[in-house]
């Protein structure tokens, strides 16, 4: 403003100077004419003298005029500077936003009245000058001025955002800080979030299988489950609709989800109280919920994916997906075996179709392969050969047992050059390659994770419950926790796909060995489908006597197992823990065998064998069926299934690993549903409770009370 005034005044000054110069010039000319006319002065001399006088007069006037203008400007600056400071200071004092000026150490030098009122609300009355800002609002000043949005803190029921800037005067730093009370804003944001609509997909997951026992009670059980779900939805003020038989979609407000979690989704227990048949087997549901961001359509898709995860983990549980990860609740009962082979036939047809379209097929299992992983890979290879597609199996053949299996297949010409390592497999990877993973669904445990990342089309076939989502979704996933082994799943698929006698006796042997390994010689986790698959393999040429040769223990292995048996403790009266100290890679198999043997101890319901190998603690767990060992080891980042699981604790000492294991056991027995980033809040699966099993449940409760 002052500049424009100067410009305006400067313009007027220039016009006045011109008039003065002209007037003086005219006056000198008139005076010169009068002098020349009335006197005898020489006209030329008089003109020169007049011109000189005129020039001097103009110069003097100009100098004086400029000095006056500069003085006026300086005087104006002296007046405006303090006036402007007073105006700004008054504005800051009157401003509704709390503000303060602090030294580099945070000492308050100046503050406005609004800041004093805020400090009083926070319990800091009296004089504030000389007080440290952080003693009133505990926030890092550098964070407040560096972050574009300032620093946000909740204190005394207020949500405060502190912002500002830092400046320097004569080598000293100061902070100008403003405080915005966002309490009301945050409350409105929270209310909007709580009122957001969430979607849950719900499936009564085992009713069809239970009806195999008692078809006449289907409608009664279905109606009871329907009424329980509708009552639950009504109590929550939500909307539930059955869009297909025994399948529901549930709309509810997000704030109710925290209530559901606090009650540990007691709807699972209410549905489980519905019993079917003389054996009084429970009805169960699986629920998928998404509280992620995005549109309603995106949340609906995410909730359906969460439901798929719940089903792949064995059902009877709730899976909640959020932006921060996945949480799982429930799943403490055992899975009901699927009685039909419809899904197996559908998966087999889909897999064969994709193999026929592929340029080549690569097959791999998990690291440190066992008989089940190897046998399943051989089963997939036979399907690929049936389709006439080149196939290779990626395998680590350093284990003697796996070497024996490979030698057993060596007489078959089809298997010449089939077994390769991960490095060689990279050279065979093409855009039309189909990669099939067997007996594992945890990406970190794949034989060659890099192949999974690079392959365009992948398939996963497994009987372990799904613990984590892979980095990318496979084109086909067949995860069936109710199956005894992955070899059982492959035997079913081969039976429904291959022509009679297409499976060789040697191939049947390795598949049969895989089933025997995971069922402990067909003594655990067996179902009618398990024996049906075993019958098919024997009819294809599997020789139990030959297969038993795979399981014979060398003297060195026997000695390794003895290390575990010499250091056994019984924890919580029913859980055996064996520790072998430091070992080598061969001790992993010894740990698994030791865990099996520990179950032979009277009164032991679960066993854990622990060994440290190259800085990583390996834990093998087994259960008789009363305790879900996967639920326990999931808390340590492991996985598996109800009666068999494992975990690897990296960069952890034996003592720390044992403490963590005991803490996980305590949490399971005491019913703690807490979770962390790698551990789910659940167990596995569903168990039909007959009278014998009811007695076992009573015994378990007694053990729990005694332990407490």
335 secondary structure, DSSP code: P
454/457 Cα distance (integer angstroms): 9
Clarify whether residues 611 and 653 are in a common domain: yes
> Hey, which residues does 318 pair with through a beta bridge?
287, 329
What is the domain range of residue 125? Answer: 95-187
Residues 531 and 577 in one domain: no
Domain-embedded: residue 457? yes
pLDDT score at 683:
33
Domain co-membership, 394 together with 542: yes
- Distances in Å between the Cα of 196 and the Cα atoms of 235, 250, 257 are 18, 14, 11
pLDDT in tens, 583-610: 888 788 888 888 988 988 888 999 999 9
Asked if residue 336 is part of any domain, the answer here is no
* Token digits of residue 631: 């639920």
Asked if 288 and 229 touch (Cβ cutoff 8 Å), the reply is: no
Count Cβ atoms below 10 Å from residue 19 Cβ, excluding itself.
Answer: 9
What pLDDT, on a 0 to 100 scale, did the predictor assign at position 363? 97
- 40 band by pLDDT with thresholds 50, 70 and 90: low
Region 630-656 average pLDDT: 87
Contacts of residue 182, defined as CB under 8 A and 6 or more positions apart, other chains included, come to 152, 159, 160, 161
Structural element, H or E, at residue 433: strand 433-438
Which domain-ending residue is among 36, 57, 92?
92
Q: Report which of residues 263 and 35 the model is more confident about.
A: 263
On the 0-12 / 13-18 / 19+ scale of CB atoms within 10 A, 673 is: middle
Question: Does residue 432 register a pLDDT over 90?
Answer: yes
CB 479 within 8 A of CB 520: no
- Asked if residue 472 has pLDDT above 90, the reply is no
Our count of domains for the chain comes to 5
Alpha-helical regions (H) of 519-653? 528-539, 544-550, 555-565, 587-598, 629-634
Check residues 281 and 36 and name the one with the higher pLDDT: 281
Strands (E), 359-412: 360-364, 391-394
CATH code at position 174: 3.30.450.20
Q: Kindly report the length of the chain.
A: 708
Q: What is the 3-state secondary structure (H, E, C) of 397-420?
A: CCCHHHHHHHHHHCCCHHHCCCEE
Q: 3-class SS at 228?
A: helix
Percent of the chain past pLDDT 90, that is, above it, reads 34
Is pLDDT above 50 for 14?
no
**Assigned domain for 610 exists:** yes
378 with 307, same domain? no
Residues facing 172 on adjacent strands: 169
Q: Do 363 and 491 have their domain in common?
A: yes
The answer to whether residue 195 is domain-embedded is: no
The torsion of the CA quartet 104, 110, 116, 118, rounded to 10 degrees, works out to: -40
Give 327's pLDDT tier (boundaries 50, 70, 90).
Answer: confident
Regarding whether 302 and 408 lie in a shared domain, the answer is no
Which of 51, 70, 92 lies at the terminal end of a domain, its last residue? 92
Going through 568-643 in order, the beta strands assigned E by DSSP cover 568-571, 575-583, 606-613, 616-623, 639-641
* Sequence-distant (≥ 6) Cβ neighbours of residue 38 within 8 angstroms: none
pLDDT score, position 475: 92
pLDDT tens for residues 244-302?
Answer: 988 999 999 998 998 998 888 989 999 988 887 766 778 889 999 998 888 889 999 99
Q: From CA 607, how far away is CA 644, in angstroms rounded?
A: 10
Residues 6+ away with beta carbon under 8 Å from 4: none
Q: Are residues 594 and 540 in the same domain?
A: no
In this structure, the answer to whether residues 378 and 514 fall within a common structural domain is yes
Q: Does one domain contain both 243 and 124?
A: no
Q: Which residues contact 677 (CB under 8 A, 6 or more apart)?
A: 325
Q: Are 686 and 334 in contact (CB under 8 A)?
A: yes
**Quick one: 540 and 562 in the same domain?**
no
Q: Decide: helix, strand or coil at residue 159.
A: strand
438 in any annotated domain = yes
Q: Of 11-25, 197-211, 319-333, 441-455, which one has max mean pLDDT? A: 441-455
Check: CB of residue 173 under 8 Å from CB of residue 109: no
Question: Are both 505 and 633 inside the same structural domain?
Answer: no
> Do both 578 and 695 map to the same domain?
yes
Of 496, 529, 550, which one is at a domain's C-terminal end?
550
Return the CATH number at 633: 3.10.310.30
Rounded Cα distance between 514 and 503, Å, is 16
CA dist 564 and 580 (Å) reads 5
8 Å CB contact between 469 and 441: no
Rounded mean pLDDT, 87-106: 77
Whether 374 maps to a domain, the answer reads yes
Confidence of residue 219 (pLDDT cuts 50, 70, 90): confident
CA distance 423 to 443: 18
Query: Is residue 192 a part of any domain in this protein?
Result: no
User: Does residue 337 lie in a domain region?
Assistant: no
Nearest to 339 by CA among 213, 477, 433, 228: 213
Give dist(CA 426, CA 417) in Å, integer: 15
């Amino acid at each position: 403003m002052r500049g424009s005034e100067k410009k305006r005044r400067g313009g007027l000054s220039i016009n006045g100077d011109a008039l003065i110069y002209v007037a003086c010039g005219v006056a000198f000319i008139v005076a010169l004419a009068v002098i020349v006319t009335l006197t005898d002065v020489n006209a030329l001399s008089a003109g020169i003298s007049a011109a000189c006088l005129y020039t001097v007069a103009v110069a003097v006037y100009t100098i004086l005029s400029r000095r006056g203008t500069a003085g006026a400007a300086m005087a104006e600056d002296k007046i405006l500077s303090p006036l402007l400071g007073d105006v700004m200071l008054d504005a800051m004092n009157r401003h509704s936003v709390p503000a303060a000026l602090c030294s580099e150490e945070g000492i308050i030098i100046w503050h406005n009245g609004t800041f004093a009122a805020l400090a009083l609300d926070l319990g800091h009355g009296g004089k504030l000058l000389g007080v440290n800002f952080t003693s009133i609002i505990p926030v890092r000043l550098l964070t407040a001025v560096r972050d574009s949005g300032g620093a946000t803190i909740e204190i005394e029921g207020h949500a405060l955002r502190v912002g500002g800037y830092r400046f320097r005067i004569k080598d000293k730093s100061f902070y100008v800080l403003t405080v915005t009370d966002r309490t009301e804003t945050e409350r409105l944001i929270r209310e909007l979030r709580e009122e957001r609509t969430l979607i849950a997909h719900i499936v009564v997951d085992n009713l069809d299988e239970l009806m195999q026992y008692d078809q006449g009670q289907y409608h009664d059980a279905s109606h009871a489950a329907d009424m329980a779900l509708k009552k639950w939805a009504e109590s929550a003020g939500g909307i539930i609709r059955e869009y297909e038989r025994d399948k529901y979609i549930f709309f509810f407000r997000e704030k109710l989800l925290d209530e559901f979690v606090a009650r540990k989704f007691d709807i699972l227990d209410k549905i489980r109280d519905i019993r079917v048949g003389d054996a009084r087997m429970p009805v169960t549901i699986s629920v998928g919920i998404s509280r992620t961001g995005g549109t309603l359509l995106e949340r609906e898709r995410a909730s359906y994916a969460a439901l798929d995860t719940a089903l792949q983990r064995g059902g009877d549980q709730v899976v909640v997906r959020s932006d921060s990860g996945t949480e799982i609740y429930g799943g403490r009962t055992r899975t009901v075996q699927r009685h039909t082979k419809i899904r197996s036939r559908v998966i087999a047809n889909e897999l064969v179709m994709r193999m026929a379209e592929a340029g080549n097929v690569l097959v791999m299992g998990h690291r440190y392969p066992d008989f089940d992983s190897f046998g399943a890979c051989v089963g997939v290879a036979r399907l690929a050969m049936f389709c006439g597609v080149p196939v290779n199996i990626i395998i680590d053949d350093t284990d003697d047992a796996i070497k024996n299996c490979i030698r057993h297949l060596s007489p078959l010409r089809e298997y010449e050059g089939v077994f390769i390592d991960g490095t060689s497999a990279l050279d065979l990877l093409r855009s039309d390659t189909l990669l099939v993973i067997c007996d594992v669904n945890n990406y970190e445990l794949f034989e060659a994770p890099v192949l999974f990342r690079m392959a365009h089309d992948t398939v996963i076939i497994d009987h372990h419950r799904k613990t984590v989502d892979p980095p990318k979704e496979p084109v086909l996933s067949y995860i069936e926790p109710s199956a005894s082994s992955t070899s059982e799943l492959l035997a079913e698929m081969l039976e429904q796909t291959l022509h009679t006698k297409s499976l060789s006796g040697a191939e049947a042997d390795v598949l049969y060995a895989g089933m025997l390994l995971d069922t402990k010689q067909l003594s655990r986790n067996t179902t009618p489908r398990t024996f049906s698959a075993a019958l098919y393999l024997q009819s294809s040429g599997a020789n139990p006597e030959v297969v038993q040769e795979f399981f014979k223990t060398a003297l060195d292995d026997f000695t390794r197992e003895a290390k575990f048996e010499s250091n056994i403790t019984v924890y919580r009266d029913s859980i055996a823990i064996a520790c072998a100290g430091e070992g080598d890679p061969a001790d992993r198999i010894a740990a698994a065998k030791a865990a099996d043997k520990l179950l032979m101890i009277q009164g032991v319901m679960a066993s854990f064998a622990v060994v440290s190998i190259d800085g990583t603690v390996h834990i093998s767990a087994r259960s008789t069926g009363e305790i879900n060992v996967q639920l326990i080891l999931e808390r340590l980042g492991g996985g598996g299934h109800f009666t068999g699981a494992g975990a690897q604790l990296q960069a952890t000492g034996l003592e720390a690993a044992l403490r963590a294991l005991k803490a996980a056991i305590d949490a399971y027995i005491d019913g703690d549903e807490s979770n962390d980033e790698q551990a789910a809040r659940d167990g596995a699966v569903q168990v039909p409770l007959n009278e014998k099993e009811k007695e076992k449940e009573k015994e378990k409760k007694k053990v729990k009370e005694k332990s407490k």
